[in-house]
Amino acid sequence: MAKTTDLKTNWGRLARCTFSATAWIALLAAPAFFAAEPATPSPEGIAFFEKKIRPVLAESCYKCHSQAAKDQGKLKGGLFLDTREGVLAGGDTGPSVVPGKPDASLLVKAVRWSSPDLEMPPKHKLPDPVIADFGKWVELGAPDPRSGPKGSAKREINLAQGREFRSFKPLARVAPPAVKNTAWARTPVDRFVLAKQEAAGVTPSAPVSRAKLARRAYFDLTGLPPSPEELDEFLKDQSSDAFAKLVDRLLASPRYGERWGRHWLDLVRYAESGGYEFDGYRNGAYHYRNWVIRALNDDMAYSDFIRWQLAGDKIAPGKYEGAAATGFLVAGPYPGQLTAKTEERIRYDQLDDMLSTIGSSMLGLTVECVRCHDHKYDPIPQTDYYALAAAFAKTVHGTQQLAPDPVVPKAEIEAHRTTLESLVVALRKYETNQLPDRLEKWSEKERVKKPAPAPRWQTLEVIEASGQQVEIETRPDGVVAFVARSKPDPKRPAPAAGKDDPDNLSYTVIAHTLQTNLAAVRLDALADKKLPKSGPGLADDGSFNLTEFSVTASPLKAGDKSASVKLKLTAGQARFAEKEMPIANAVDGKPATGWRAKDKPGVENGAVFVIAGGFAGFEGGTVLTFRADFRTDVIGRLRLALSTGPIPAPTNDAAGKPAEGSDIFAGGTDFQHARELRALLDGKLVEAHRSDAVRWFSRLDEPTKKVLNAVGDHARKVPQPKLTEVYTAVGGGRDVFLLRRGEVDSKEGKAAPGFIQVLATKEPGRWLTPPERDPRLALGDWLADAEGGAGHLLARVFVNRVWKHHFGRGIVATSNDFGAQGAAPTHPELLDHLAGEFIRGGWKLKPLHRLLMLTAAYQQGAEANAQNQQRDPDNKLLWQQPAQRLEAEAIRDALLSVGEKLDPKMYGPAENTVESPRRSVYLRVRRSELIPFLTLFDAPDATRSIGDRGATTLPSQALTLLNSPFVRDIAARLAKRALVKGATPEAAIDQVFQIAFSRPPTDAERAKFGGYFSRQKELLGAADPKLAAGAAEKALAATCLVALASSEFIYID
């Protein structure tokens, strides 16, 4: 089999099933076989092997290179030296022996220790005579009597079998089972739960109290406690659907997206900095966080939620939302300093970060293992990994300037227009009242001056310029500059036949002149460092290809009905041109031919075109319309000039360059304004010339300039949508290759986009068609395709996550691992039922919450039950709802909330300080400087997808709750809040319980807390009698601190 296997062609083969996928994978990964069967070994050869070679192999090599080593998991490099086949076939780096050629045999090289990367045995070099024996043995043709097949380094991957695994099977549609206790099971979900309990002799717990249920729902959906008023409102509602209404209310709260957005951010290793060396902060990274919150609040279908994150920039090109969503792809760590040595490896690390995050967060699969070898436990061959990676070949980290809100408010536009109008009125007044006098004074001075010899060329001021398929800008010095290529305007009427050539780009430039006897025009193509190779053209080599150039003259004076004249241009001189592409091509009327100079990058070019027979000009002024057409490669910086003669006859040398002494570019250049004004004042200032005159005069006269600029400056400041930097996936990157053992210097075939085969039962073209379709869009479709793609697993993994957050543990306990190493589902039918419901419901998340929260299972309490405890100690059968510890962010937010310090403001850039009163989801996530309060309570370190946070218990948490200024401040605030509501300290303590625990204290608690309060007050007074006055409030704050530090505050029943 050819080594340069093209994965794409193999896709085709695979689909046609000409041989099994497994065989194909094995072949692809195996090194080239050597066809020649070794000649029958001589008895002497065999004897040599038995005496000199076999004992050494057994002693020094088999430990890592034999079937026995493989069985112990110690096989190295895929190499088996315990059979002849194994020796000849070799391992990951190719055949170990080329019979007859010791110097070409890796085995010999390895024992000789001739390359530092290949030294075997690794720790101790063999004695020199033994090394020599190996050379001799290979020279003899490597005689080897050992028979038997080469061991297989690979676990055989059988896709058909793989699809039988629980997570890769299509969703089963199982009817909810029958149960005995029909009264308890209020929803089909409950029947799945109860049936298992009944089978195991376990009984569900009684429902939790309504107050506790509400508290649970508030924390589950919003991450915040209910206020006493909110709780009261719910408790008063005695209707049967009161809880359903509460759930709906909470789902509609903007706090919901903040709470569940944070869960999602765990999965996608969200941070706002690059990690590694300097941990550069990414100013535009937070948009992704906001997008997630918004999408959840909007109840975006989960399938779309996935699609946007993978390819938002393709779904909505150039749009803020698209770029913000694809922040997902680039949220991972990425080194700030790169060198040639590390660049390529880091590129593959970057791809691996994207793939492993997609694998863990969306599919619950560990795909990063497959970077180096076929998956050890799941049916994912290495080729699948690189097929996935290929979808990201043209995806790298970057930023874009985009408008979150592309619509400019009408009022703003209106205000701008009003101001502009008043400025224009002022300008008109100036033109009428002051300009004539000033002009007159200037011209009086001019008339008495002795006229200086006029330069040959006058640079033309650009009155108007436009581009076809190019965006341009004009500059006061007469330069027309290329800004960007633009797509054809869809609103523009279809161009005439032959003109809709997408490669035809053009500039149209309008200038005015009042002068007469026009002799020649000149076009300068300027160099600029911002252009490729510093220009002057946009081609990669810095050249341009001007295919046609024309000038049309028409009368300037209003009412002049004279016909426009297309001036007849002849080739004058070019600064540079290729022999086959002289400037004559630009005035030959043939769009196929053009003027180009390829070998002059970074040097100004130009051409002079002589107007055949000259042009007299129109009386009252001429409008000159220049048009320059290009074949793709436009001039980057273009300037036009005019000469009224006389023009020497141009003579060019063979290369088209000006011959010695006939350089008609020479002769000096100035701007046209002074001569235009003189021409103008030879006549009389008429209305038609007024605006030209103002402009030209403004170059000479400061007051005129001021007035004109005031208008111009304001006119340019048309209100624009505000742009912001978005850190997102951008184009770039290179082809992706399959890397043997994941090493960048072991490239095999170029990888073509594809999918995880075990999750693709249909032809991959289904998602990739048409072939030029963006592979990231295809990836999203495959992921969400529950029929032939990965949709069933996508749904299983996600509903399991939602379940986990509501029930404390997932149906699959390893929420990021649905592979063979992961936990088996406790309720597989229920998992499939939920995933099916989820898909049938349009992948909507909010109905899923509702479905789960309205079950009897969710609404259980946690009862001590010895029998249940004994039969199901881990509560796998959900006979109770144990208290769950709040996550770090919810602890901080709950503290802010009870202290009435929480600022509910949404979105915006990250908050730089932990002192910020905003919700924790808005705090800065900088990889090297995580927020201690949050990490203390198990917030992730944002380098990998985290499916299941721990909930550790540490003395440092206790220290923070007891001693930190933050918590003590909250306690003081809570005390004040409670005192406002309860006039007496006793009543205030009741309030503290209501606020912190959503319940009143029991009598015993009242007594304990009351006693503590009195004791604190006494101790305070004793410490400092002067403080006795404020002691009540302080003692209450101390009481509040105990409440906040207590388990009940952060463990939600």
* Residues from 914 through 943 that contact another protein (CB under 8 A): 927-930, 932, 935-938, 941, 943
Told to check if 206 binds another protein by CB under 8 A, we report: no
Residues 347-376 that bind another protein (CB under 8 A): 349, 356, 360, 365-366, 369
Minimum separation from the CB atom of position 795 to another protein (A): 19
Please name which of 345, 365, 332, 381 lies closest in space to residue 26, comparing C-alpha atoms.
381
**For residues 511 and 1038, which CB has a smaller minimum distance to another protein in the complex?**
1038
**For residues 734 and 1015, which CB has a smaller minimum distance to another protein in the complex?**
1015
The token pair at 265 is 């951010």
Give the chain's end-to-end CA distance (angstroms, integer).
Answer: 63
Among 916, 964, 981, 1033, binds another protein (CB under 8 A): 964
The token pair at 599 is 């070998």
Residues 101-140 that bind another protein (CB under 8 A): 116, 123
Separation between Cα atoms, residue 688 and residue 54, nearest integer Å: 105
Told to check if 60 binds another protein by CB under 8 A, we report: no
**For residues 674 and 1028, which CB has a smaller minimum distance to another protein in the complex?**
1028
Told to check if 687 binds another protein by CB under 8 A, we report: no
Minimum separation from the CB atom of position 960 to another protein (A): 5
Minimum separation from the CB atom of position 207 to another protein (A): 16
Q: Who contacts 629 (Cβ-Cβ below 8 Å, separation ≥6)?
A: 504, 505, 506, 546, 547, 548, 549, 591
Dihedral (C-alpha) 192, 196, 202, 206: value to the nearest 10 degrees?
0
Residues 763-802 that bind another protein (CB under 8 A): none
Told to check if 810 binds another protein by CB under 8 A, we report: no
Report residue 129: phi and psi, to 5°. Answer: -60, -35
- Eight-class DSSP state of 274: -
**For residues 651 and 943, which CB has a smaller minimum distance to another protein in the complex?**
943
Alpha carbon 812 to its chain's center:
30
Told to check if 912 binds another protein by CB under 8 A, we report: no
* Residue pair 756/380 in contact by the 8 Å Cβ criterion: yes
Told to check if 344 binds another protein by CB under 8 A, we report: no
Told to check if 419 binds another protein by CB under 8 A, we report: no
Residues 620-639 that bind another protein (CB under 8 A): none
Separation between Cα atoms, residue 880 and residue 860, nearest integer Å: 6
Residues 425-464 that bind another protein (CB under 8 A): none
Among 880, 897, 920, 994, binds another protein (CB under 8 A): 880
**For residues 335 and 828, which CB has a smaller minimum distance to another protein in the complex?**
335
DSSP character string of 554-613: EE-STT--PPPEE--EEEEEESS-BTTB-GGGGGSS-TT--B--TT-TTS-EEEEEEEEE
**For residues 461 and 817, which CB has a smaller minimum distance to another protein in the complex?**
817
Total binding residues for another protein by CB under 8 A?
Answer: 88
**For residues 8 and 809, which CB has a smaller minimum distance to another protein in the complex?**
809
The token pair at 1040 is 């509040």
Residues 943-962 that bind another protein (CB under 8 A): 943-948, 950-960, 962
Q: Is the dihedral of CA 980, 981, 982, 983 positive or negative?
A: positive
Stretch that binds another protein, among 598-606, 712-720, 758-766, 1042-1050 (CB under 8 A): 1042-1050
Minimum separation from the CB atom of position 952 to another protein (A): 5
Told to check if 1030 binds another protein by CB under 8 A, we report: no
**For residues 823 and 906, which CB has a smaller minimum distance to another protein in the complex?**
823
The secondary structure element, H or E, covering residue 630 is strand 622-631
Told to check if 887 binds another protein by CB under 8 A, we report: no
The secondary structure element, H or E, covering residue 457 is strand 457-459
Told to check if 994 binds another protein by CB under 8 A, we report: no
Among 142, 331, 848, 1038, binds another protein (CB under 8 A): 1038
Among 23, 145, 278, 426, binds another protein (CB under 8 A): 278
Told to check if 382 binds another protein by CB under 8 A, we report: no
Please name which of 283, 323, 192 lies closest in space to residue 730, comparing C-alpha atoms.
323
Please name which of 391, 324, 305, 313 lies closest in space to residue 355, comparing C-alpha atoms.
391
The token pair at 57 is 């192999």
**For residues 276 and 907, which CB has a smaller minimum distance to another protein in the complex?**
276
Burial 81-118 (b: 16+ CB within 10 A, else e): bbbbbbbbbbbbbebbbbbeebeebbbbbbbbeeeeeb
Residues 857-876 that bind another protein (CB under 8 A): 862, 864, 869, 873-875
Stretch that binds another protein, among 22-30, 232-240, 593-601, 819-827 (CB under 8 A): 819-827
Separation between Cα atoms, residue 1046 and residue 732, nearest integer Å: 53
Q: Who contacts 252 (Cβ-Cβ below 8 Å, separation ≥6)?
A: none
Minimum separation from the CB atom of position 181 to another protein (A): 22
**For residues 261 and 822, which CB has a smaller minimum distance to another protein in the complex?**
822
Residues 997-1016 that bind another protein (CB under 8 A): 1005, 1008-1009, 1012, 1015-1016
**For residues 368 and 548, which CB has a smaller minimum distance to another protein in the complex?**
368
Residues 571-610 that bind another protein (CB under 8 A): none
Q: Is the dihedral of CA 546, 548, 549, 555 positive or negative?
A: negative
Minimum separation from the CB atom of position 254 to another protein (A): 30
**For residues 94 and 882, which CB has a smaller minimum distance to another protein in the complex?**
882
Told to check if 163 binds another protein by CB under 8 A, we report: no
Burial 41-75 (b: 16+ CB within 10 A, else e): beeebeebbeebbbebbeebbeebbbbebbeeeeb
**For residues 35 and 866, which CB has a smaller minimum distance to another protein in the complex?**
866
Minimum separation from the CB atom of position 995 to another protein (A): 16
User: Which residue type sits at 48?
Assistant: F
Separation between Cα atoms, residue 352 and residue 637, nearest integer Å: 43
**For residues 266 and 829, which CB has a smaller minimum distance to another protein in the complex?**
266
Minimum separation from the CB atom of position 702 to another protein (A): 52
* Residue pair 806/882 in contact by the 8 Å Cβ criterion: no
Minimum separation from the CB atom of position 1046 to another protein (A): 5
* Residue pair 334/347 in contact by the 8 Å Cβ criterion: no
Separation between Cα atoms, residue 479 and residue 624, nearest integer Å: 16
